[in-house]
Structure 1
């Protein structure tokens, strides 16, 4: 009976964690470049009431008898499938059609993102909403001076601007490729930090080694599917209710045992 209580408690805690993950996904349904999170659970260690026995002495083998002690959080992973496209017609809004990630640098640290909403700062550098510089192939910022008449971004990430009749190349947007993007660490602001398990393949030009092409005038939005999240939310809610029922039922049985003496 007490084992069922502990199992119910672990189930309630896991259901709450699942609701936390779902709530964060729904809260970021309109966040550009956001990648939804998925949570997986594992069973906890089991208590063995009788060990397994092999066949012998005229008897067949006997399986072990075990009682589970509940569940535990297995992993919370990020789903890096491509999000929905939103056309903005803003030339400094970029979408990656492929598996690469933009490289931005702030305070000397490189971060990675799929959020392509950039703009020009007062010095003409292309930066994101946090003022982090968009990096070019080989390193360095991409600058469009004030005297530029206009600029354009090619699918291979090459940024050019015109001054009079001259066309000048400002740089080529760098894209990072990871063998395990789910191993990246979220640091907020739609940014990711590299980890030992992300497997950075390299930072290259757009279109090389599967990094994808850059589409100007569009943004990649969140890959959250609201219908799926609502379904998972109902499942988590019912799981929470069922585990509370386990605790209530165990308590009623204990109460009956206490009342036996009376």
Structure 2
């Protein structure tokens, strides 16, 4: 059975691999990107007759609406667009923070507003929001990226509860490190100026910029996993991808449980009466 897919952030990495595999399967794809030319170049040799490659600014609600209308009856939505940013919290400018949320939160919200009326009316469809293991846990120097992904996690969990009775499935995909261009410019942002006193963040940044080619995750396998998730009738809300992501999630659960229990004695004293 073939499906019609709507995918954002499709010209690199996981998004590009997902489009490639879907076209090989015979599915129909509308893919949004800042550069349709780069997307098509990345698909060199593939049959692109069932592909619409659209230049869309996800922060522009009208552009998103037109793209969704052009896609027709969509079966699977993949909100994949995003980029990283490495900086201490105080080093992130207002403009940099707003730009990140435009892509990772408000851009997703624009897509959701555009697709949900049709999915609800048809009582079918699957929304896949690509988060990150950094939507479940956080590290120094990743504050801006984590803020966007944590927001996406909350938005998606609420969405899943709202549309369950309409037959619309929702999945959060939480990858670990993958061998993509995510840690290369322009997929990774750096602060325009740095503050004194953060040597650990400078070391972490240098280590991450040297990481490409050594990550555990295979984007081709990750794309295949997303396709498999979309084909299943019942899936977990949170789908981790990568052994590193799984390990970090388990550690986060253990640390959170310990923290909650450490605060229990004070917590129960604030009830009325």
Structure with more of its chain in strand, by fraction: 1
Q: Using structure 1 for the length normalisation, give the TM-score.
A: 0.25
- More relative contact order, 1 or 2 (CA 8 Å, 6+ apart): 1
Mark the structure with the bigger radius of gyration: 1
Structure with more of its chain in helix, by fraction: 2
